[in-house]
Amino acid sequence: MTQVYNPDVVGVVRRVNRFIQEAMKSSSSAVSLTNSYDIARLESYLNAIDAYVAWLKGQPQLDLPETHPQMYDVPDAPGAAVLENEDLNDIVNLWNKMRDELVNSQSARQPSGLISHDVARFDLILAKMRAFLGFIAAVSPLDVPESSPMQEMSGGGLGGV
């Protein structure tokens, strides 16, 4: 298990992990078509993480002399993407890059907040993901009958209560 000193980094990681899991369990994960509903969900996840990081950027740097340094557990990544859907493999890989860059950043050693250089890296990955969603909409679906299926079905999401 990885640990960081910054609980704000943990908040970003928890959200990114959830979005990774959502992409990996989406209905598009088992086929070459990334359907419009999943693209809309992916866009909403990008908007949500962007809003959360924007909120973090607007918060004051906290002076925590009594509680810093304190270690926080970072939840493990849901896993590497090995999906039938190449588009979702790429999206999940970008989510993982975003996550891993932040976990290993200078911000992870601060008591709170995000350093501007780490935010810049985050923003660039986010911009690439947004651009990639446009690419997906332009080229999906692919007709790949000779190489499909490559992977087993991802299985259902988590069950109810």
Q: Is residue 145 part of a domain?
A: no
Cα(29)–Cα(149) distance, rounded to whole angstroms?
Answer: 11
Q: What is the pLDDT of residues 30-62, one digit of tens each?
A: 888 899 999 999 999 999 999 999 999 999 988
Spatial separation of the C-alpha atoms in residues 132 and 136, rounded to whole Å: 6
Mean pLDDT, range 2-15, rounded to an integer: 96
Query: Using an 8 Å Cβ cutoff, are 38 and 87 in contact?
Result: no
- Output the pLDDT for position 151: 62
Whether 99 is in a domain gets the answer yes
Question: What is the domain count for the chain?
Answer: 1
Residue 57 domain boundaries:
2-62+72-139
In a domain, 146, yes or no: no
pLDDT for res 79: 75
Query: How many Å apart are CA 101 and CA 89, to the nearest integer?
Result: 18
pTM (2 d.p.): 0.87
The answer to whether the CB of 121 falls within 8 A of the CB of 94 is: no
Is residue 134 a part of any domain in this protein? yes
Query: Does residue 109 lie in a domain region?
Result: yes
115 has pLDDT over 70: yes
pLDDT at 110 over 80: yes
For residue 12, pLDDT over 90 is answered with: yes
User: Among 99, 97, 91, which Cα is nearest to 129's?
Assistant: 91
Q: Is residue 112 part of a domain?
A: yes
pLDDT given at position 32: 84
Which amino acid is it at 10? V
Answer whether residue 144 is part of any domain: no
Q: How much of the chain exceeds pLDDT 90, in percent?
A: 70
Q: Is residue 44 part of a domain?
A: yes
